[in-house]
Amino acid sequence: MKVEKISDSQIKIILSQSDLRERDIQLAELAMGSVGSEKIHQLFHETMEQALLEHNFITDNASFMVEVIPASSESIMLIFTKIKAEREMEQRCMVQAMVQKRFRECRRVKPAPPRNADYVSIFSFESLDEAARASGRLHAFFNGESSLYKQNGKYFLFLFNADHDTAMSADFEAILSEYGQKQQSTLLSRQYLIERANTLIGDEAVGKLATFLN
């Protein structure tokens, strides 16, 4: 593991395949943003300790934005940047979306959209906090695909019910309606968001938003 200090608020880390194997971490697992993993948290902790010892990089208990960039098939680069607390949630979402996009481009893999539009729901929210609270209520029983987008100051949550249960989709929408407003819910609408809006969370948005409440 190689650590370089870029500035007082930013450091760069290069990890090889052997570094990841020693910690039982897969390259794809790290690149796709599995930040909730205990192994990933331990890696970040080791990184901060090494940065302190080698470069006197002081964290001051600050929050960090972590950008994960696949450098090659054998190594990966992490950029740690101190961020302001009030924008932490949104920046974490944006970084995760950027990481996932870069990793897909590196592997030349593009996500396939869901095929059946009958179980698609798209809701808009005035704030990220409202989207997170709605997701917190759905998380325990939602099974399917979900993404989060931002456009013109609003947040758009896309859901695809993989259980293909119309009654359950209605239950989801009843909960979401308490926090946001239903939008035209078609695959074409989702494609419009992909092309025109900012992608904050590319996949598993419900689960990832729910963790922000813990």
* Domains parsed from the chain with CATH numbers: 2-107 (no CATH), 117-211 (3.30.70.1950)
Percent of the chain with pLDDT over 90: 17
* From 3-17, 61-75, 133-147, 158-172, the region with the lowest mean pLDDT: 61-75
- Name which residue leads in pLDDT, 109 or 17: 17
What is the b/e burial string over 32-71, where b = at least 16 CB atoms within 10 angstroms of the residue's CB?
A: bbebeeeebeebbeebbebbeeeeebeeeeeebbbbbbbe
Query: What's the predicted TM-score (pTM) here?
Result: 0.48
pLDDT at position 119, please? 77
| Rounded CA separation 210/31 (Å) | 21
Please give the pLDDT value at position 1: 81
| Residue range 75-93: mean pLDDT, rounded | 64
pLDDT, one tens digit per residue, over 36-58 is: 567 777 877 788 788 888 888 77
pLDDT at residue 25, rounded to an integer: 76
Cα–Cα dist 94/203, whole Å: 12
Given this model, what pLDDT does residue 12 score? Answer: 86
Q: Does residue 110 register a pLDDT over 70?
A: no
Q: Which of 10-14, 82-86, 180-184 has the lowest mean pLDDT?
A: 82-86
